């Protein structure tokens, strides 16, 4: 749509035609008339307003709405989610596989200019969730550290991180299933699964099943963070919280592996959007069967290996590329 000066004596299209005619006469006429023609062209053009281009109706905006903002960070084969709470505080769930300053997490936090994290959650002590938190505790002030009491007996990395967290002065908390986390007024952060009693194992599935699982709700939006919890934990959650499982967004468990996201569980959660944090791997993540179950219920699936870092807010869902 053309925008014209309402005080103009003629529509812009007529002015444009007149201007073209004047310009032609200017070129063909003797020099005596050239200056007069140029003056007429200038006067006519001065009354025509150049319109601003309006953005397309379907444009994707590189911002998230105010409120609860969640980022599923592209960290390679691992998990890391950053949350901006409505009260201005923040949460980091897991840190991905790398502890270097050029990791996906480190770059993301630098871009966001994060100097302090109020709440850090280690869902379970596997390297692809744990290592990036070493960078966090070294470079960023952390107030609260939420941790499972599962000890990975096949690695000393979890012990080192816990010692680092303690030395930093962060307050360590071991949440139990059913606990509500104090993350601000209006925000309901409920723990659906964890391992609050001390135990040790070198078995990967046992460690995955000690993941801290959190359902986060704000106003009319809800997001379920599954860590690496597998089908056994899903069955327990279904038994204990079936009436409270439906969520708008699902952080898919265990990178979309075949050991998680059962039919019964996916149908109970019934997310509109599902986010899989995954990178190049030899595990077959995500499993085609998992992808099929998610699409079968109509969920829109996002993958960090294909789509990059993803942003979702309580008021809108938008896609961000690295």
| Domains present along the chain, CATH in parentheses | 12-46 (no CATH), 69-319 (3.60.15.10)
The sign of the torsion formed by the CA atoms of 53, 59, 62, 67 equals positive
Asked if residue 199 lies in contact with residue 183, where contact means CB atoms within 8 angstroms, the answer is no
Cβ count near 156 (within 10 Å): 9
CA angle 72, 74, 79 (to 5 degrees): 65
- What kind and span of H or E run contains 74? none
As a whole number of angstroms, the distance between CA 283 and CA 266 comes to 21
Query: Within 13 Å, how many C-alpha atoms sit on residue 149's CB side?
Result: 10
Task: Identify the three-state secondary structure at position 174.
Answer: coil
pTM for the whole structure: 0.79
Widest CA span of the chain, in angstroms? 99
Task: Identify the three-state secondary structure at position 154.
Answer: coil
As a whole number of angstroms, the distance between CA 199 and CA 151 comes to 6
Quickly list H helices, 157-296: 157-168, 204-208, 231-241, 263-269, 288-296
Cβ count near 312 (within 10 Å): 26
Strand partners, 70: 83, 312
The answer for 255, left when phi > 0, alpha when psi is -120 to 50, beta otherwise, is left
As a whole number of angstroms, the distance between CA 254 and CA 305 comes to 14
Cβ count near 316 (within 10 Å): 13
One pLDDT digit (tens) per residue for the chain, 322 residues: 233 333 444 444 444 444 444 444 444 444 444 445 445 444 444 443 333 333 333 322 233 445 899 999 999 999 999 999 999 999 999 999 999 999 999 999 999 999 999 999 999 999 999 999 999 999 999 999 999 999 999 999 999 999 999 999 999 999 999 999 999 988 999 999 999 999 999 999 999 999 999 999 999 899 999 999 999 999 999 999 999 999 999 999 999 999 999 999 999 999 999 999 999 999 999 999 999 999 999 999 999 999 999 999 987 543 333 4
């Amino acid at each position: 749509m053309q925008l014209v000066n309402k005080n103009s004596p003629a529509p812009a299209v007529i002015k444009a035609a007149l201007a073209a005619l004047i310009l032609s006469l200017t070129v063909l006429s003797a020099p005596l008339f050239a200056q007069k023609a140029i003056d007429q062209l200038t006067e006519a053009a001065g009354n025509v307003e150049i319109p601003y281009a309006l953005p397309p109706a379907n444009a994707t905006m590189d911002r998230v709405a105010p409120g609860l903002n969640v980022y599923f960070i592209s960290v390679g084969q691992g998990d890391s989610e950053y949350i901006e709470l409505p009260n201005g505080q923040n949460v980091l769930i897991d840190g991905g596989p790398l502890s270097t300053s050029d990791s996906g997490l480190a770059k993301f936090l630098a871009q966001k200019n994060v100097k302090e994290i109020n709440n850090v959650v280690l869902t379970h002590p596997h390297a692809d969730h744990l290592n990036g938190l070493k960078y966090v505790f070294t470079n960023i002030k952390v107030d609260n550290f939420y941790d499972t009491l599962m000890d990975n007996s096949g690695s000393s990395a979890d012990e080192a991180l816990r010692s680092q967290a303690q030395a930093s002065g962060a307050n360590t908390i071991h949440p139990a299933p059913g606990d509500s986390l104090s993350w601000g007024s209006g925000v309901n952060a409920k723990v659906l699964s964890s391992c609050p009693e001390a135990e040790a194992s070198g078995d990967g599935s046992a460690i995955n099943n000690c993941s801290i699982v959190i359902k986060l709700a704000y106003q009319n939006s809800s997001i379920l963070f599954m860590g690496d919890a597998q089908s056994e934990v899903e069955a327990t959650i279904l038994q204990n919280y079936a009436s409270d499982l439906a969520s708008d967004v699902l952080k898919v468990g265990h990178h979309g592996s075949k050991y998680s996201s059962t039919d019964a569980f996916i149908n109970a959660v019934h997310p509109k959007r599902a986010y899989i944090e995954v990178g190049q791997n030899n595990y077959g993540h995500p499993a085609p069967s998992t992808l099929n179950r998610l699409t079968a219920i109509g969920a829109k699936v996002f993958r960090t290996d294909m789509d990059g870092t993803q942003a979702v807010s309580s008021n809108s869902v938008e896609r961000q590329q690295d």
